[in-house]
Amino acid sequence: MRNWEQLLIREGFADGLLEACDTYSRVLVCDADLAASTLTRRVAERFPDRFIDFGIAEQGMLATAAGLALTGWRPFVTSYAMFVAGRAWEIARQQLSYGECGVVVVGAHCGVTVGKDGPTHQCCEDLALMRILPNMTVVVPADYYQMRKVVMDAAGRSIPYYFRMGREAFPVVTSPDDEWQLGRADVLEEGEDLSLVACGQMVSVALDAADTLRERGIRARVVNMHTIKPLDVETLEICAQTGPILTVEEHMAAGGLGSVVAEWNVGRRQPVPMSIIGVEDRYMESGSPTEMLEKAGLTPERVSEQAELLLRG
Amino acid sequence: MNDVTYPKLLEIATRIRQHVILMVYHARSGHPGGPFSAADYNTVLWWKYLRMQPENPDWSQRDRWVLSNGHCSALYYALLAEKGVIPMSVLPTFRSSGSPLQGHPNRLKVPGVEASTGSLGQGVPVAHGIAMGARRRGWGDVRVFCNVGDGELQEGIVWEAIMAAGHFKSDNLFLLVDCNDAQIDGKVSDVMGIEPLAEKFRSFGWWVWDADGHDFMRIDHLFREAFHAPPGKPRALIFHTQMMYPIKPFMNDPAWHGKPPSKEETVLILQAMGEDRDPDELIELYRKED
C-alpha cells in the first residue's frame, strides 16, 4: 500500500466554489440545511449574497434552482446524494434533463463510506439515476485537486451537470498541475495485461491493486474514468485492445460505471472480457468507512484477486 | 392595453375556449376542463396586465406566466396563438407526432412557454425560482404569475415552494389558483380536501384574495388589489371557477378533466358559445391562417 496523502474532497468543493464565485458573477450556491456538512457555509460567509439556504426541502430547492437558471444564474444545488439525486430525481428528470435548465447538482456523502449513518444515507444509486437521463453530464472527481477543477468546469458551462463526493478524507491521486478535461479519462499508469477502470475514491484502490499485481508479474493499466457521461470511448478502446477490463466503483455494481462500460463493450464487434466491482445487490449497515469498504469488497485485495481471475478466463 | 372593455375580454375568452375545444376535439386527446375554468381570469391578466412583446417572446423584462398544471396546455397554446406569439396554423397539430405542441408544454419547442411542466406541483417552485432570479438580476419590474390547479395543491412540493416564497418575501410572485373543485377521481373536497385554503396561504406569509373566477369585474378588481398590496409578501389569487364553464350541461362533471369531446359534443359546446360552423371546417380554417 502506498503512503497516500489524504485530503477531504469536500474541501476541494468549497475551495472550488469560492474560486467559481470569484470568477463567475452568475454562480449561486444552494443548500438544504447541510451547509456545515457540505462546506457550502464557506460560500455563505464570503459571498452571502450568492448563497441560498432552502431549509430541509431538496425537491423544492432543485425545482427553484431550475427557475433561477431560467433567469441566467448558474446554481449549484447541494445536499446529500441520497436526497438531491435520489429524492429529487424526478425534478432533475423534468426540469434539468427534459427542460434543459442549467443547474449543477452536487451529491455529497455518496457511497458506503458515509459509514455510521447507515444505509439510509449510503447512496450507491446516484450515478445510475443521473446517467440514465438524456442531456445530463455526470462526473466523479477522484480527489481534492480534481474536485476544484470540476467545480470550475461546471461553473463555466450552462448544461445540466451532476457530480458526487464522499464524506471522508481520501487519497490524493492527482496533482494541482494535472490538466483535467471533461470526458477525457486520466491514464494514471500504463500496463499491457489488463485495465483497471475506476472512478472517485476507488482510483486509489485501483492503484494499490496495480502495485500488488505488478509484484505478481501482472502489468495493469489504471484509468481514472472521472466522467461517466459523456463516456471517453477512445480511452476505453485503447483498454480493450490491451485485454480485459475490470471496473471499480463505490456504487451499486448495477447501473453505474461498470454498466456504462459494459454497454459500450457489448456494442463492440468483439467484446473483451470484463468484470464489475461495486456494491452487490444489497444494503450495507452502520460501521466505520473502512469496515464498509471491506464488507462491500471495495479493497485493493479484492480488485487484484478479481483481476487475476479475469486474466485466467 | 389596460383599457380593454369587459365585453371585449368576454369575446377573447370565448375565442380561447373555442381554440381549446377544437384542439382537443381534433387531437381526440387532451384536457378541456381546466382550460375552460381558467380562461376568464387569465384572459383578464393576459390582455390587461401581462407585460410581454409577442414579436419578441424572449424579452428579458417580460412578465412570466408559468402553467404549473401543464395538462391545461391547450389553454397555453390558445393564449399564445391569440396573442400572436405562435401561429394559429399550428393549433391543429396539438398532441400529434412532430408537433411543437406537446401534450404538456415544452419550453424548448414553443416560443413563450417559460417552463416545461406537466409533472404536477413543479411549476410553483420553478416560478418562484424565476421570481427570485429576476429580483437578484435587478429586474425589479418583472412579475411571475403561476397558474395552479386546486387538486394540484395536494402535491407536497407546492407547499415547499409556498413556504420558501413566504420566507424569502418574494412579492413578485403571483399564484393563480384555479379552484374548480374537480380532479380526476372526483371533487377535490371528496378526494383530498385542501380547505381552508386562504388561511393556509396567510399562515405561510402570503397576501391572499378570492373571487368568482368568471366575473370579469371581480377578477379585474382582484388583480388591481394584488398589484397594489404592500410589498414583502407573495400573492395568492384564488379563483372560484367551474370546469367546462359556461357550457351548462357539462359543468361540474370531473369527467371533463381529460375527456376529448365527441363531434356532437363539440358542436354543442361551440353553439353554446355562438359558433355555428362545423368543427372540422373550423380546423381547416386554422390551417390557412398565419
Contact B132 A68 (CB under 8 A): yes
Task: Please state, in angstroms and rounded to a whole number, the distance separating the CA atoms of residues A3 and B218.
Answer: 76
Say yes or no: B132 contacts chain A, CB-CB below 8 A.
yes
Mean pLDDT computed over A92-98? 98
Other CB atoms within 10 A of residue B290 CB = 6
Cα gap A224→B224, rounded to integer Å: 60
From the list B106, B108, B126, the residue facing A67 with the nearest CB is B126
- Cβ neighbors of B253 (< 8 A, separation 6 or more) are B182, B243, B244
Q: What is the mean pLDDT of chain A?
A: 97
Question: Do the Cβ atoms of B117 and B68 come closer than 8 Å?
Answer: yes
CA–CA distance, B80 with B59 (Å, rounded to integer): 15
Question: Helices B216-228 and B33-44 meet at what angle, rounded to 10?
Answer: 60
The C-alpha cell of B135 is what?
429580483
User: Cell 434533463 sits at which residue?
Assistant: A97
Q: Where are the alpha helices (DSSP H) in chain B?
A: 6-27, 33-44, 73-83, 123-137, 156-167, 188-191, 197-203, 216-228, 263-272, 279-288
- Closest residue by Cα to residue B7 from B50, B40, B54: B40
Tell me if A38 sits within 8 A of A88, measured CB to CB.
no
Helix (H) or strand (E) holding B106: none
Interface test with A, best of B59, B117, B124, B126 (most A CBs within 10 A): B126
Label residue A313 by pLDDT band (50, 70, 90).
confident
Q: How many CB atoms lie within 10 A of CB A183?
A: 16
Read off the DSSP letter of residue B277: S
Residue A23: is its pLDDT beyond 80? yes
Query: Could you tell me where the DSSP H helices lie in A24-143?
Result: 35-38, 41-46, 58-70, 81, 89-91, 126-131
Q: How far apart are CA A231 and CA A257, in angstroms?
A: 9
Catalytic residue annotation of A: 58
> CA triplet B167, B169, B174: central angle to 5 degrees?
115
d(CA B9, CA B45): 10
Residue A94 has pLDDT above 60, yes or no: yes
- So what's the pLDDT on residue B33? 96
Grouping H, G, I as helix, E, B as strand and the rest as coil, residue A220 is strand
Backbone angles phi, psi at A236, to 5 degrees: -65, -35
Gap between the Cα atoms of A227 and A146, Å rounded: 12
Check: CB of residue B236 under 8 Å from CB of residue B26. no
| Amino acid, single-letter form, for residue B187 | K
Report CA torsion sign: B214, B216, B218, B222: positive
Question: Do residues A92 and A193 make contact, with C-beta atoms less than 8 angstroms apart?
Answer: no
Dump pLDDT digits (tens) for A181-234.
999 999 999 999 999 999 999 999 999 999 999 999 999 999 999 999 999 999
- Hey, which residues does A110 pair with through a beta bridge? A123
**pTM of the complete model beyond 0.90:** yes
Hey, are the CB atoms on B132 and A64 less than 8 Å from each other?
yes
Which stretches within B175-275 are classed as H helix? 188-191, 197-203, 216-228, 263-272
Show residues of chain A in contact with B134, CB under 8 Å. Answer: 71
Contact A201, A8 (CB under 8 A): no
CA distance B135 to A175: 41
Instruction: Answer whether B161 touches A (CB < 8 Å).
Output: yes
Do residue B107 and residue A65 have CB atoms under 8 angstroms apart? no
Q: How far apart are CA A225 and CA A140, in angstroms?
A: 8
Asked whether this complex has an ipTM greater than 0.85, the answer is yes
Please say whether the beta carbons of A32 and A57 come within 8 A: yes
What is the grid cell recorded at B273? 358559445
Structure confidence by residue, pLDDT tens digits, A35-74 = 999 999 999 999 999 999 999 999 999 999 999 999 999 9
Secondary structure of residue A174 in the 3-state scheme: coil
pLDDT of residue B252: 82
pLDDT at B1: 55
Tens-of-pLDDT digits for all 290 residues of chain B? 578 999 999 999 999 999 999 999 999 999 999 999 999 999 999 999 999 999 999 999 999 999 999 999 999 999 999 999 999 999 999 999 999 999 999 999 999 999 999 999 999 999 999 999 999 999 999 999 999 999 999 999 999 999 999 999 999 999 999 999 999 999 999 999 999 999 999 999 999 999 999 999 999 999 999 999 999 999 999 999 999 999 999 998 889 999 999 999 999 999 999 999 999 999 999 999 86
Q: Which residues of B touch A25 (CB under 8 A)?
A: none
Interface of A with B (CB under 8 A): 28, 52, 54-55, 57, 59-61, 63-73, 90-91, 94-95, 98-100
pLDDT single digits (tens) A126-158: 999 999 999 999 999 999 999 999 999 999 999
Of A282, A305, A279, the C-alpha closest to A202 is A279
**Per-residue model confidence as pLDDT tens digits over A247-286:** 999 999 999 999 999 999 999 999 999 999 999 999 999 9
Measure the CA angle with vertex A173, ends A171 and A174; round to 5°.
Answer: 135
Band of the pLDDT at A1, cuts 50, 70, 90? Answer: confident
Residue B43 CA, chain-centre distance (Å), reads 9
Rg value, chain B, Cα: 18
Q: Which residues of A touch B137 (CB under 8 A)?
A: 71-73
For A252, list phi and psi in degrees, rounded to 5.
-55, 145
Give the integer Cα–Cα distance in Å for A33 and A41. Answer: 10
